[in-house]
Amino acid sequence: MTSLKSLLTGLALAALTLPALLPGAAAAADYKAEYKLSTVLGKPFPWGVGGDRWAELIKEKTNGRIVVKMYPGTSLVNGDQTKEFTALRQGTIDLAVGSTINWSPQVKELNLFSLPFLMPDHKAIDALTQGAVGKQLFDLLATKDVVPVAWGENGFREISNSKRSIKAPEDLKGLKIRVVGSPLYLDTFTALGANPTQMSWADAQPALSTGAVDGQENPLTIFTAAKLPTLGQKHLTLWGYVADPLIFVVNKEVWASWSKEDQEAVRAAGLQAAAEEIALSRKGIAAGDDSLLKEIAAQGVDVVQLTPDQQKAFQKATQAVYDKWAKQIGPDLVKAAETAIAARK
């Protein structure tokens, strides 16, 4: 009888201590079988590689307690990039690697990165995303039903078209340029004399193919991976007018449903995936490596690199747009960004 009593006591103690022996096991019982991660682009684009890598690392670092499936092409919102952030807040999407441009209609401060000619180089992007400005924007996002965990990068957006070389603002006059669904982009290209046309990336590629639009602006990794030279994009100008950081985020309720241990694992996975994704997005176009530019030129593309004076002409032509939007974004935030960039090493 005593031995039976001891056995029962031992089993009860084992049941009580099992969760402690298996961290996260009790909490994981309430987890979803699968979490949905949204991206605009899939692999082989760096954006899609980053999202896929985050999902992979989350599974690894949580010992399989959290399983994430990536849905590229913003398929969870029928391809409408500008609705992604709203769907994320509402819980239709659990996680996302999103664009500051696409989320700017809902979070006006994210328009900061789309101010024309604010960021002259990669060090300027880093000065913002990895400094006080980046933290301020993360604190803001944290009030909007999401938990931001890391900054990624889509890259500087360079302009291409099928008609002619672009070396001065007047070269853009009358060109139909596909732009994302942001009023700031409409203002910028209108100021340059172009005819900006808003459409999703899914619609942009056939429009370029048929000549419904003449040109587009995107990072060089997209220019190559999407094979834009085969869609008539034979004139490319490197003008670095805006850059598009990406943000790795989790829906707030989903985040709260995870154990502290798993939250930290997801954050660590995001930071690692983001660092790898940034390195991939800059490969061939930074740190003295111009291999991607050579690859593009080898496809018969006329590549124009603006001189500082040529770039100043574009900057002057868009200054009124910069000033108008700086007021809407928030003068203090813009000033903080300008100061951080000026102080970069």
Domains along the sequence of the chain with CATH: 25-154+245-282 (3.40.190.170), 158-242+286-342 (3.40.190.170)
The set of residues, in sequence order, having a beta carbon less than 8 Å from that of 305 and lying 6+ positions away, is 238
Region label for 275, one of left (φ > 0), alpha (ψ between -120 and 50) or beta (otherwise)? alpha
Query: What average pLDDT does this structure show over 208-223?
Result: 96
Question: What pLDDT score was predicted for residue 29?
Answer: 66
Give the torsion through C-alpha atoms of 256, 79, 238, 310, to 10 deg.
Answer: -100
For 74-81, the CB contacts below 8 A with 24+ separation are 74/38, 74/39, 74/40, 74/200, 75/38, 76/36, 76/38, 77/38, 79/200, 79/202, 80/200, 81/40, 81/180, 81/181, 81/200, 81/201
CA distance 254 to 269: 16
- List the one residue out of 80, 69, 87, 89 whose CA is nearest residue 40: 80
CA distance 153 to 275: 9
Average pLDDT, rounded, for the chain: 92
Tell me 155's DSSP state: E
- What percentage of the chain has pLDDT greater than the value 70? 92
β-pairing verdict for 176-179 and 215-218 = parallel
- Give the Cβ contact number of residue 308 at 10 Å: 8
- What percentage of the chain has pLDDT greater than the value 90? 87
Q: What are phi and psi of 167, to 5 degrees?
A: -125, -15
Checking if the pLDDT of 43 tops 60, the result is: yes
Cβ(37)–Cβ(97) under 8 Å? yes
- Give the Cβ contact number of residue 252 at 10 Å: 18
Query: What average pLDDT does this structure show over 143-172?
Result: 98
Question: What pLDDT score was predicted for residue 28?
Answer: 66
E strand or H helix at 238: strand 235-238
CA distance 93 to 83: 11
CA angle, residues 190, 193, 199, in degrees to nearest 5:
50
Checking if the pLDDT of 87 tops 90, the result is: yes
Q: Lowest-confidence range among 22-26, 157-161, 167-171, 288-292?
A: 22-26
CA distance 115 to 244: 11
E strand or H helix at 304: strand 302-305
- Say what angle helices 331-342 and 319-329 make with each other, to 10 degrees: 120
Interval 229-263: pLDDT, tens: 999 999 999 999 999 999 999 999 999 999 999 99
CA distance 127 to 141: 19
Checking if the pLDDT of 24 tops 90, the result is: no
